[in-house]
Structure 1
Amino acid sequence: MWFLCVFYHRLLDFRKPEVEALAELFGEDESLQWRLPEHHHNDTPFHFVHLSSEEIAQNIAKRSILVKGMYELWGEGTCYEELKDSIESFPDSRKLPFLASDSTFRISVETFGKALTFDEQRERINSLTYIPFDVNLKNPDHNFFIMEMDESEENNGLQPILQRRIFFGREVGFADRKLLPAFSSSLALTLARLLWMLKWLS
């Protein structure tokens, strides 16, 4: 199964080794693969990773200090018209279990390298009216995310990509954000190095 793995923008050289070490810890076989989204570079926060199960993706996200979240990608595009076509072409067999009448949802907007106003975020969420969501902001059954990164030269420290890219996906695993402030940069670096060493010594 392919997942969209979204990283924090730090310790760039250790992001993949940490995921690979955790995948091995949770029993991943040889199916782990990486690929980049179209028009992205290696330093991008977005990477596709192939894992054998959603459970492994969840466990990696929970234990990682460099992964922000793992997502089942429902669609992507360079604009919201392309995103709509991509979502509508995503197999109904994969969507329908999460669109049941008794299921509730929350849709969040995350941008990388830029900030959006509340009205801009609401406009993007309202563009998804073709998906029959029953929204519940406080206690949803499922969390969905619109994630956007463009080619702007002013990307707040992120290297610009060649072309704007928008992703929409279902969250399958996320970092325990309450624990993240407890990790200093030096501790994170030490853990990443240890995970990398364990992988290559095993």
Structure 2
Amino acid sequence: MFHISPFCLVELPSDDAARAVVERSILAHSIYEHWGTADTIDELHAAVKRDTAQLWPDYLETSFKISIDSYRGSRSQKQKVALINSFSYLGFEGPILLSSPDNEFTLFEEWALQPVPEKKQPSPLKVHFGRLIAHSVRDLINKFDLKKRDYISTTSMDSELALVTANIALAGPGKLFFDPFVGTGSFPIACAQFGALVWGSDIDGRSMRGTGGKKSLLGNFQQYGLEQSLGGVFVSDLTNTPMRKARVLDGILCDPPYGVREGLKVLGCRDPEKDLIGSRDPAFIPPKKPYSFTAMLDDILNFATEMLVDNGRLSFWMPTANDEDQEIAVPTHPCLEVVVVCTQVFNKWSRRLITYRRLPDSDVDVSALALRKTQQDQANGRSADDLNPFRRHYFRGFKSEQELSDIVTPDVSQLKV
């Protein structure tokens, strides 16, 4: 049976470095100083005695406790006590404190996953022992849980994914972050939690204004005591932003619309001969026209190259079909380097979290940039499906052209009368 281990061995220069890493981590649980790994408890004891005896004097007089963590397994209280006592050779003389000791040591066990409990293996596959350095901030997932948030919409990003995105984009104190599809503010809230000053815009002002009071984007920031980190939000779409073009942003995070619930829209008139006219009337609703999905991806990349500082990061979510023939390629830009692509797989489609780094101008391929500027969006058509290949495949059930053809024109030789 294929076994997936929940443990990862990493090399770091010091406890402080390890603490700095895990205290920003959402996906990790905690980090330990590694004292030994073996297939059996006896082999583990031998490894700990052989490799860590020089460390023991540092903990002789401090308070401590030893815990048992059995992954996919369980131990009776009597067994746990016996395992803990088997480490008596460490010689720790300080008081044993079950709550807030100076040092906590843990024996980790990896058990095989057995579908039938009666066939449980008599012993774990692996055992590990280590000293706790620090826990992660994974509890932030619960703090920002959408079920507890005062104001959300159908497209509000899950708290864990928003925090992970903010981490990958390197949100932190003294940095400016922006979300051009801000909605109810999931990404800016995550970035603000890590100390960034955040801004946002959205083509639909209702999503930001909410219903007033706590039921608004500002109310969400107030709920978490982060209102001082909100620079401001405004109504705009990406192609008609009032923002001055200047490379001042440290990060851009967004989950752009996929155009499934309704076709993508952008401010403008369907008739190319008509001009987009504004109004000072608060009740004025500007006209919108269909928007190409691929053009939107290009516009996001272009916006990032104009607004990000050197080495600033763009992180956004993009859907794609799982079928290679229908897959949407990761968009590229000469001014942006792909840092990492994370994939969340669903049934017949997935969504990717794509993160880019803004290259310094000296590192940009000038010829490739000039070629890109001469290319125009080749999307044809006026309907939502014409302009959005993902939407088209989505409502076709991600069936291939051959499968669709077979449905429309079945093989009559296989029909029975």
TM-score of Structure 1 vs Structure 2, range by shorter chain = 0.5 to 0.7
Structure 2 vs 1, CA of residues 168 and 152 (structure 1 numbering), >3 Å: closer, same or farther? same
Q: How does 1:60-99 map to 2 (within 5 A)?
A: 60-98=21-59
TM-score, structure 1 normalization: 0.65
Q: For residue 160 of structure 2, what is the aligned residue in structure 1?
A: 188
Q: d(CA) in 2 for partners of 1:108 and 1:178?
A: 20
Instruction: Please report how far the alpha carbon of residue 93 of structure 1 lies from its aligned counterpart in structure 2 after TM superposition.
Output: 2.7
Instruction: Please report how far the alpha carbon of residue 177 of structure 1 lies from its aligned counterpart in structure 2 after TM superposition.
Output: 6.4
C-alpha contact 1:71 1:171 (8 A) present in aligned 2: yes
Instruction: Please report how far the alpha carbon of residue 94 of structure 1 lies from its aligned counterpart in structure 2 after TM superposition.
Output: 2.8
Per-residue CA deviations over 1:62-118 (Å, capped at 9, x if unaligned) read 2212111111111121111101101101143333212x3x21211111111122222
Aligned partner of residue 130 in structure 1, secondary structure:
helix
Which protein has greater RCO, CA pairs closer than 8 Å, 6+ apart?
1
Aligned partner of residue 92 in structure 1, secondary structure:
helix
TM-score, structure 2 normalization: 0.34
Matched, 1:132 2:79: no
C-alpha contact 1:71 1:170 (8 A) present in aligned 2: yes
Q: d(CA) in 1 for partners of 2:116 and 2:31?
A: 23
Pick aligned residue for 2:18 from 46, 51, 57? 57
What do you get for the CA RMSD once the two structures are aligned? 2.8
Q: d(CA) in 1 for partners of 2:116 and 2:135?
A: 24
Structure 2 vs 1, CA of residues 52 and 93 (structure 1 numbering), >3 Å: closer, same or farther? same
Q: For residue 30 of structure 1, what is the aligned residue in structure 2?
A: none
C-alpha contact 1:113 1:155 (8 A) present in aligned 2: no
How many residues are matched?
154
C-alpha contact 1:114 1:155 (8 A) present in aligned 2: no
Give the gaps of 5 or more residues in structure 1: 1-39, 157-162
Pick aligned residue for 2:102 from 124, 138, 141? 141
- The structure having more radius of gyration, on CA atoms, is 2
Q: d(CA) in 2 for partners of 1:92 and 1:106?
A: 18
Runs of 4 or more, structure 1, over 6 Å off, are none
Give the gaps of 5 or more residues in structure 2: 118-123, 147-157, 170-312, 314-337, 340-355, 358-417
C-alpha contact 1:112 1:155 (8 A) present in aligned 2: no
Q: How does 1:1-202 map to 2 (within 5 A)?
A: 43-98=4-59, 100=60, 102-133=61-92, 134=94, 135-154=96-115, 164-176=125-137, 179-184=140-145, 186-196=158-168, 198=313, 200=339, 201-202=356-357
Q: d(CA) in 2 for partners of 1:189 and 1:70?
A: 21
Structure 2 vs 1, CA of residues 49 and 154 (structure 1 numbering), >3 Å: closer, same or farther? farther
Structure 2 vs 1, CA of residues 138 and 190 (structure 1 numbering), >3 Å: closer, same or farther? closer
Amino acid at match of 1:124: L
Instruction: Please report how far the alpha carbon of residue 188 of structure 1 lies from its aligned counterpart in structure 2 after TM superposition.
Output: 0.8
